[in-house]
């Protein structure tokens, strides 16, 4: 990760070169590297481009439960296969013809389709497997106006249940579309992918800012990306039995919360 970062214009700039020389590739040493805010990154993404690593393109869908159901994906960025089809252009009867057992998509696409189903415009069979909702940081290939994508809310869960007849599992994505945290059966926060990223909480005005260093995003290796999100990391055991820390909701100062609450 440090080597990937050292190949980018941003970290090769004369005023920052010393930072990486001093930093051995250990989590503890990261603290010597300044946090880069998501807003700053989005202003100058090309400065963080590692020329030696190609962009990954699409990725395989991570289904949160055993089995591999037929999933209609409502946004780009996911690899198609026998059970996974991408319908990124909005509602089309082809989605129903595909007979999906589940849906996956960004919140905006899921909300739009849910509304169309409830209005009787989209004729989608009831789903038999849970939905995956993507939230998280802006996906580089689909820049948005905002530096944050709205989080999944309790109202979304109700809407999706009414429209699709299925519960929803949230997956929190990094800037290269990589899954950095995901919801489990217990719906009690999102399990952090500690094998694929380093997560820190840094004191910030009015809370603890979530700071992420992703190992999967070697094409844009930002060390200590400040997400601008106030978060709490719970180390209490999860009901699902899976060990490891989880992100739990903290709506603070008008910033979005990043995970569902236990009450959902």
184 versus 193: smaller Cβ distance to Zn ion: 184
**262 scored as a contact of Zn ion (CB under 5 A):** no
Q: Helix, strand or coil for residue 226?
A: strand
Strand order in the sheet with 190-192: 84-86, 71-73, 102-106, 131-136, 168-173, 179-183, 190-192, 246-248, 232-234
- CB contact set of 82 (below 8 Å; sequence gap of 6+): none
Smallest separation, CB 242 to Zn ion (Å): 5
186 versus 198: smaller Cβ distance to Zn ion: 186
Of 114-122, 127-135, 223-231, 242-250, which part binds Zn ion (CB under 5 A)? 242-250
12 versus 242: smaller Cβ distance to Zn ion: 242
**61 scored as a contact of Zn ion (CB under 5 A):** no
Q: For residues 157 and 249, is the Cβ–Cβ distance under 8 A?
A: no
Q: Please list the residues that pair with 114 across neighbouring strands.
A: none
34 versus 237: smaller Cβ distance to Zn ion: 237
Of 7-15, 157-165, 218-226, 235-243, which part binds Zn ion (CB under 5 A)? 235-243
Of 25-33, 53-61, 139-147, 178-186, which part binds Zn ion (CB under 5 A)? 178-186
**152 scored as a contact of Zn ion (CB under 5 A):** no
d(CA 221, CA 4) in angstroms, rounded, equals 6
Of 42-50, 157-165, 217-225, 230-238, which part binds Zn ion (CB under 5 A)? 230-238
Q: For residues 98 and 80, is the Cβ–Cβ distance under 8 A?
A: no
Q: Helix, strand or coil for residue 229?
A: strand
**181 scored as a contact of Zn ion (CB under 5 A):** no
Q: For residues 218 and 54, is the Cβ–Cβ distance under 8 A?
A: no
Between β-strands 246-248 and 190-192, what pairing exists: parallel, antiparallel or unpaired? antiparallel
**210 scored as a contact of Zn ion (CB under 5 A):** no
**184 scored as a contact of Zn ion (CB under 5 A):** yes
**240 scored as a contact of Zn ion (CB under 5 A):** yes
The H or E element containing residue 18 is helix 14-22
| One of 19, 53, 166, 186 touching Zn ion (CB under 5 A) | 186
List of residues contacting Zn ion (CB under 5 A):
184, 186, 238, 240, 242
């Amino acid at each position: 990760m440090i080597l990937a970062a050292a190949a980018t214009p941003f970290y090769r700039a004369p005023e920052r070169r010393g930072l990486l020389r001093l930093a051995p590739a250990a989590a503890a040493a990261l603290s010597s590297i300044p946090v880069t805010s998501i807003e700053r990154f989005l202003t100058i993404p090309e400065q963080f481009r590692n020329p030696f690593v190609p962009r990954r393109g699409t990725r395989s869908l991570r289904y949160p439960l055993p089995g591999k159901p037929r999933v209609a994906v409502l946004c780009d960025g996911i690899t198609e296969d026998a059970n996974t089809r991408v319908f990124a252009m909005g509602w089309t009867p082809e989605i129903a013809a595909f007979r999906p057992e589940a849906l996956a998509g960004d919140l905006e696409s899921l909300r739009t389709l849910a509304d169309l189903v409830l209005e009787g415009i989209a004729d989608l069979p009831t789903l038999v497997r849970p939905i995956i909702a993507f939230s998280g940081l802006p996906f580089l290939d689909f820049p948005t106006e905002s530096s944050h994508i709205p989080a999944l809310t309790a109202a979304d869960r109700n809407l999706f249940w009414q429209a699709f007849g299925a519960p929803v599992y949230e997956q929190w994505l990094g800037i290269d579309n990589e899954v950095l945290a995901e919801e489990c059966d217990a719906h009690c926060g999102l399990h952090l992918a500690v094998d694929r990223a380093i997560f820190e909480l840094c004191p910030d005005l009015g809370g603890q800012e979530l700071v992420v260093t992703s190992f999967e995003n070697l094409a844009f290796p930002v060390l200590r990306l400040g997400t601008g999100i106030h978060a709490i990391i719970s180390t209490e055991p999860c009901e699902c039995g899976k060990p490891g820390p989880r992100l739990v909701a903290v709506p603070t100062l008008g910033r979005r919360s990043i995970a569902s609450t236990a009450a959902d």
